[in-house]
Structure 1
Amino acid sequence: MKFVYFSPHFPDNGATFCSRLASAGVTVLGIGDASYETLRPELKSALAEYYRVSNMEDGDQVLRAMGHFIHRWGRIDRFESLNEHWLEQDAGIRTDFNIPGIKRDFVDNLKQKSKMRAFFDKAGVETIRQCPYVDRAGVEAFIGEVGYPLVIKPDQGSGASNTVKIASAGDLDRFEASRRPGVSYVVEQFIDGIVLTYDGLVDREGRIVFAASHRFEQSIMGVVNADSHLNYYCLPHVDPAIEQAGRAAIASFGIREKFFHIEFFQTRVDKRIVALEINMRPPGAWMTDAINYAYDMDVYREWASMVADRAVGGPFKGRYYVGYASRKNHIRYVNGHQAILKAHGDKIVHFAPIEAVFSRAMGNFAYQFRSEDFDEVKAIVRFIQAVED
């Protein structure tokens, strides 16, 4: 198998994905805009060849890179970035070169929140009440049906970017005054709940070969808009209702040989499961590593084995609750870094700065830690994020 990995240098875990592919016997070819000299040694050793482009958004440069690889290596079997930003580019290249995977004619169903609804409906999974943002009159009619608060968000986007909560006519006035021209928005009924994810691997026959779940008790929208810190948890089990909804959604979308990351609300009042969105990529930030720490596995290796059409290991049994707690540079915290290590160093499995492009949502610096006791993990979050009065 010859696999072109687009943007293998960013984010950082691209190097690990490429390394596992190479270990599975796959010929890995990379396209990126970083100079070869700056690539991590792990990535250099995994790549059979690297083609540098000056602008990754320039489709002509990417086409030339693909032409070079085909001339040099023959037919390309897979093209993938594992990155939401490049989803359309990936689909276009697969279409142009007849490479298996999601093509141009389907990608909008995975990019546009308004189009995802039909697939969740087909799966029998409840969705959030929604309408397109056409004009003020249409929004006010929707408010008449569902009331305040509302959430307005881009129809296409991720990470709660440009997403706002509307609790009054004044909030709506302020949004209309600041809305970005040329961007399509959707208006949704506000759901009071926590977010539970369904994350895992579906093979080329459509079988789910591994699944895990993360729990977000904070609103990402609130974190981004307030420029606050974030915490979440990787669970050692998947809630049965999430498992049922997630499996039905994967079947409805007809996805094959992919990582998946599906977000659901669990309402606080009656514990209903309501679909939020689907992403055909690994869960973001450090969540792939959280899965490894929770299940004592290497999900990068299992993904590579699946792509290379080898047997995926397991079954993997979850053992630990894994917490993520970030900090923001502008917030004054009670406990410094050394105090955190002294108090909880035996539970901390990783800490590092966050890449600037992700810092608004994910923090400037973060810690990951695990315990078989969920209450202990929550206590560590409180210790790390305790703020001075």
Structure 2
Amino acid sequence: MKFVFFSPQFPASSIEFCDRLHKAGATVLGIGDASYSHLAPRLKNVLGEYYRVADMEDADQVLRAMGHFIHRWGRIDRFESLNEHWLEKDAAVRTDFNIPGIRSDFIENLKHKSKMSAFFKKAGVQTIRQHKYSSRAGVEAFVAEVGYPIVIKPDQGSGASNTVKIDGKQGLDAFETAKLPGVSYVAEEFIDGIVLTYDGLVDRDGQVVFAASHRFEQSIMDVVNTNSHLNYYCLPFIDPEVEEAGRAAVKAFGIREKFFHIEFFQTRADKRIVALEINMRPPGAWMTDAINYSYDMDVYREWAQMVVHNTVGGPFTGRYYTGYASRKNHIRYVNDHRAIVAAHGEKIVHFAPIEDVFSRAMGNFAYQFRSEDFEEVRAIVRFIQDSEC
């Protein structure tokens, strides 16, 4: 298999995916905007060739890179970035060069939140009531139906960027003034709940061959808008209702040979499962590593084996709750790094700074830790994030 990895140098987890592809027997070819000399040695060691482009957004430069690879290596079997930002670019290149995978004719269904709901409904999964933000009058009519608060977000995009909670008419007035020109928005009913994810691998035959779940008790929207720190947990089990809804969604979207990341709300009042969105990529924010720590596995390897050979090992059994707790530079914390390591070093499995581009949501520095006791993991989160303000 000849696999072109788009942006193999960023984010850092891309290196792990490239490494496992190489070990699975694939020829890994890279296209990126970093100079070759700046690539990590581990990445250089697994790339059959690297083609630098000055601007990864420039379609002509990417097409020339692909032309070079085809001339030198022959037919390209896969093209992938595993990155939400490049979803449309990935599909365009696959379409232009007849490479298996999601093509341009389907990509709109994955880019726009307003289009995702049709597939969740096809799957029989309850979805958030939603309204395309085309006029103030239309949004007010939507509010009359669902009531305040509502959430307004860009129809296209990932994370919680430019997402706001509107509590009343004054907030809607402020949004009308601040909204970005040329951006399409959707209004959604506000769901009071936690987020449970369904993350995993689906093979070439459309079968879910591995899955895991993360629990977010904080609102990412609030974390971003208040510039606060974040925590979440990888669970050693999947809620049965999340499993049922997730499998139905994977089938409805017709996903093949992909890593997927699906987000559901679990309402606080009555524990209903409500679909939020689907992403055709690995979960972010160190969540792939959290899966490895919770299940004592190498999910990068399993993904690569699935792509190259359509096989996955296992079965894998969850054992640990793996926590993630970030810190922000502007917050004064009670316990410093030395105290954290002294108190919980035997449970900590990883700590490192976060790339600046992700820091607004993910923090400036983060820790991962695991235990078979969920309450112990919660206590470590509190110890790390206990602040003086």
Q: TM-score range by the shorter chain?
A: over 0.9
Query: SS at 2:213's partner residue?
Result: strand
CA contact (8 A) 1:154 1:186 kept: yes
Number of residue equivalences:
389
Distance 1:9 1:70 in 2: 21
CA contact (8 A) 1:191 1:267 kept: yes
Superposition deviation, residue 311 in structure 1: 2.3
Letter in 2 for 1:325: A
Gap runs ≥5 in structure 2: none
Q: Which residue of 1 aligns with 2:297?
A: 297
Q: Which residue of 2 aligns with 1:120?
A: 120
Letter in 2 for 1:320: Y
CA contact (8 A) 2:6 2:79 kept: yes
Q: Which residue of 2 aligns with 1:106?
A: 106
Distance 1:229 1:160 in 2: 14
Gap runs ≥5 in structure 1: none
CA contact (8 A) 1:265 1:274 kept: yes
Q: How does the TM-score come out when normalised to structure 1?
A: 1.00
Distance 1:4 1:87 in 2: 14
Residue by residue over 1:271-326, the C-alpha shift from the partner in whole angstroms, topping out at 9 and shown as x without a partner, is 00000000000000200000000000000000000000242100000000000000
Q: Which residue of 2 aligns with 1:89?
A: 89
Runs of 4+ with deviation above 4 angstroms = none
Q: Which residue of 2 aligns with 1:191?
A: 191
Distance 2:136 2:212 in 1: 41
Residue by residue over 1:332-355, the C-alpha shift from the partner in whole angstroms, topping out at 9 and shown as x without a partner, is 000000000000000000000000
Superposition deviation, residue 75 in structure 1: 0.2
Distance 2:310 2:187 in 1: 44
Letter in 1 for 2:244: Q
CA contact (8 A) 2:203 2:310 kept: no
Q: Which residue of 1 aligns with 2:76?
A: 76
- Among all aligned residue pairs of Structure 1 and Structure 2, give the percentage whose two residues are the same amino acid: 78
Q: How does the TM-score come out when normalised to structure 2?
A: 1.00
Letter in 1 for 2:199: D
Distance 1:152 1:117 in 2: 16
Q: Which residue of 1 aligns with 2:182?
A: 182
1:365-376 paired onto structure 2 within 5 Å: 365-376=365-376
Query: SS at 2:151's partner residue?
Result: strand
Distance 1:110 1:309 in 2: 26
Distance 2:157 2:384 in 1: 30
Q: Which residue of 2 aligns with 1:326?
A: 326
Distance 1:353 1:6 in 2: 24
Letter in 2 for 1:23: K
1:212-231 paired onto structure 2 within 5 Å: 212-231=212-231
Distance 1:330 1:81 in 2: 33
CA contact (8 A) 2:197 2:262 kept: yes
- State yes or no: 1:344 paired with 2:354: no
Letter in 1 for 2:129: R
Distance 1:168 1:329 in 2: 33
Distance 1:109 1:361 in 2: 25
Q: Which residue of 1 aligns with 2:274?
A: 274
Distance 2:133 2:119 in 1: 21
Letter in 1 for 2:256: R
Letter in 2 for 1:71: H
Letter in 2 for 1:19: D
Letter in 2 for 1:239: D
Query: SS at 1:308's partner residue?
Result: helix
Q: Which residue of 2 aligns with 1:47?
A: 47
CA contact (8 A) 1:16 1:42 kept: no
Residue by residue over 1:132-168, the C-alpha shift from the partner in whole angstroms, topping out at 9 and shown as x without a partner, is 1011111111111111000000000111000000001
- Segment drifting more, 233-242 vs 309-318: 309-318
Residue by residue over 1:363-387, the C-alpha shift from the partner in whole angstroms, topping out at 9 and shown as x without a partner, is 0000000000000000000000001
Query: SS at 1:105's partner residue?
Result: helix
